A and B are shown apart, each in its own frame.
Chain A
């Protein structure tokens, strides 16, 4: 059977002979059921760059949304952030324990489960401790205040006569009198918002924060007990596979799934336009059946290669946007006594988490459950709800430990695919991408081209800095604004070297076929590499040590200068003495509110 892709979605079930006879009273195999679901629009709306990764909802300031007091003094903290090895499960527990005056061990943290935690836009950007940490502290301080007030009523004393220690409100003047939080709370809600008015514990009184407490997520990671998204399983679960095109953007011309449908273990094939997926009892059966699907594709061709992409970024760029302009850079370059020109090319790169994308979705009449590796549980909830035509509250996302994230796991593709197959087959379906699928159909940190022209004056001062950034961009489905996924992060030199009198930074975008995505610090790593490399070359032109040259540019940035000086002192920095084949290099940056200096020891195998 060969046919054109259906505009009406089709599900072709392969039932056991017994099941089939029961249903139809007929002999034979193969059953076609028309399926009415609008998949394509939902899929497009859920693509990254659309609303994916950000639920758009404000974080709750209701104390009860964040904290509860249970039996035996156990404090439970609820957060929409997820742990993937960065240590926030431990860090948040420290913050709550500190403000509430309870032992660290008595705080448990519920992370990301959408029906239990306050809404959250996702775990990325090194924001958890910086932005959510203060909210944890405020919520905990507010709860402590509430407990003190309950204690004041209980003891008939004023707040000033009470304090807190070890999960109890105590009478300051009489160490014998105390009442535990559990007894005071007695299951009641706090019923108030944290306002920021309640006093936080002064840092000089900290006993839990600032301690290097072993991470709570590590022990199950050395015994194999930690359950990652790829490990999710429920009874009666099917293994789903998606029939991928041979190249990005290809559309189905024709497809024949008849051979796959009768392969051992195959439950059925689902098709809706270009989306073809199948389910089987075992993963190897699903993989084998996938190989039995025959199709012809309409492929779009592109001349772009890794070698030509950077030239193409220049020839197909937009008119550009000046993102930083100080003085007159053209005049300053013309007047410069020494010039440095540099071209930095960065390729597309993949996130490559060792655990590829994965999701298990179970569409049920009352609710839909999702187990997945995600940085954005509420993003998954929204995407799955859109895919299935449900309201978000009908979808519960249980985030499991991701095996690496790096920005990749803000994308909801595997969850959307598993949702479609679970809806089609009315069974829990797991879709685990392979490594090959991830490398071919993941999203990429965009290719970048950076051209820098810089100039020194007669006093070897950096007086001109022209920085042109060309980024591969992409139009997300349904949008008219291209995105290059934060390629310009870190491009503005003036944030660091504010002494430069003439600066022009221009950001160009060129549309390319590959969809980009946020990747760790977006464009930051490449822009920092470009900036620091050129600074080194300028130092060489100036005949100055790279540290000395940088220090001269940091007169308005004493804190970064202090970090630089501390780093080179610790590293035993020695000013360069010509070519030896070995040496040290230095770079500085200011990223995510953090001052950074790095010293690297390098050896070169062959001469200059």
Chain B
């Protein structure tokens, strides 16, 4: 039976392979930290990692995630302790409504994996595909810079 590996756990695949990864995560696995925002990869709210790479779960058929390690916002603090990035997010008081922040955090985590000390321009470029309707962009940049200093 096909299994889906999410946050280090194997789950039996509950839906057919064409079902969107977003729906499987949210409706079958109960991992609602990954958000629906637009359904067409335009806002970034649904960003998760496939083998460490940020992808938009709202346009990714679950079949594409088979054999890969899926990481969601719930799996970011893998050992139950907040990552420096999440700590920085709290210290900088980044979120307002917070709905987009799972996606922002997952994109930022992926950025810091490949570029541990990004410039402000690199941060803005990497997170360009993520919309925050509350307008927390400057705090996001600050939090990523703060986290980078700690890594």
Contacts and interface: CB of A to CB of B under 8 A. Distances in A.
Contacts of B96: 84-86
Contacts of B45: 354
A152 B100 CA distance: 52
Interface string B20-36: 10010011001111111
B63 interface: no
A72 B78 CA distance: 34
A436 B32 CA distance: 21
6 contacts: A215-B93, A222-B86, A224-B102, A233-B32, A355-B35, A404-B97
A283 interface: yes
Interface in B98-136: 98-102, 105, 131-134
Given A224-B33, A401-B97, A218 B133 contact: no
Interface in A210-224: 214-215, 217-219, 221-224
A432 interface: yes
A282 B62 CA distance: 15
Contacts of A221: 95, 98, 101
Interface string A334-364: 0000000000000000001111100000000
Given A217-B98, A226-B98, A404-B99, A434 B32 contact: no
A426 B19 CA distance: 27
A223 B77 contact: yes
B86 A402 contact: no
Contacts of B76: 223-224
A226 B73 CA distance: 11
Contacts of B40: 435
B51 interface: no
Contact of B15 (A222, A282, A354, A403): A282
Given A215-B93, A218-B98, A224-B74, A404 B134 contact: yes
A354 B95 contact: no
A284 B95 contact: no
Interface in A304-360: 352-356
Interface string A220-236: 01111111101101000
B73 A223 contact: yes
Interface string B64-108: 000000001110110000100010011001111111111001000
A439 to B, nearest CB: 10
A406 interface: yes
Nearest to B131: A354
B37 interface: yes
Contacts of A223: 33, 73-74, 76-77, 82, 86
A590 B99 CA distance: 30
A520 to B, nearest CB: 11
- Between A222, A284, A354, A432, the greatest number of chain B beta carbons within 10 A of the residue's beta carbon is seen for A222
A432 B32 CA distance: 14
A263 to B, nearest CB: 14
B98 A219 contact: no
Contact of A214 (B20, B34, B90, B134): B90
A284 B15 CA distance: 10
Contacts of A401: 97-98
A485 to B, nearest CB: 19
A402 B35 CA distance: 12
Contacts of B93: 214-215, 218
A405 interface: yes
A435 B46 CA distance: 13
B52 interface: no
Given A215-B93, A222-B101, A282 B27 contact: yes
Contact of A227 (B31, B32, B95, B100): B32
Given A218-B95, A233-B30, A401-B97, 16 more contacts: A85-B95, A215-B93, A217-B98, A218-B89, A224-B31, A224-B33, A233-B32, A282-B15, A284-B20, A353-B133, A355-B35, A355-B37, A356-B36, A401-B98, A404-B99, A436-B39
B33 A218 contact: no
Nearest to A226: B98
Contact of B37 (A85, A233, A354): A354
Contacts of A402: 97
B22 to A, nearest CB: 9
A406 B105 CA distance: 23
Top 10 closest pairs, chain A to chain B, by CB: A224-B33, A403-B99, A221-B98, A85-B96, A224-B73, A231-B32, A85-B97, A435-B38, A221-B95, A222-B86
Given A214-B93, A223-B73, A223-B86, A432 B36 contact: yes
Contacts of B102: 224
B43 interface: yes
B43 A354 contact: yes
Nearest to B33: A224
A355 B101 CA distance: 12
B135 to A, nearest CB: 11
Contacts of A352: 133
Contacts of B43: 354, 435
A355 B94 CA distance: 18
A227 B32 CA distance: 8
A283 B131 CA distance: 24
A24 to B, nearest CB: 31
Contacts of A222: 82, 86, 89-90, 94-95, 98, 101, 105
Given A215-B93, A354-B37, A402-B97, A224 B72 contact: yes
Contact of A284 (B19, B38, B98): B19
Given A228-B35, A354-B35, A403 B74 contact: no
B34 A224 contact: yes
Contacts of A405: 97
Interface in A188-243: 214-215, 217-219, 221-228, 230-231, 233
Contacts of B26: 231
B109 to A, nearest CB: 11
A401 B99 CA distance: 9
A217 B93 CA distance: 10
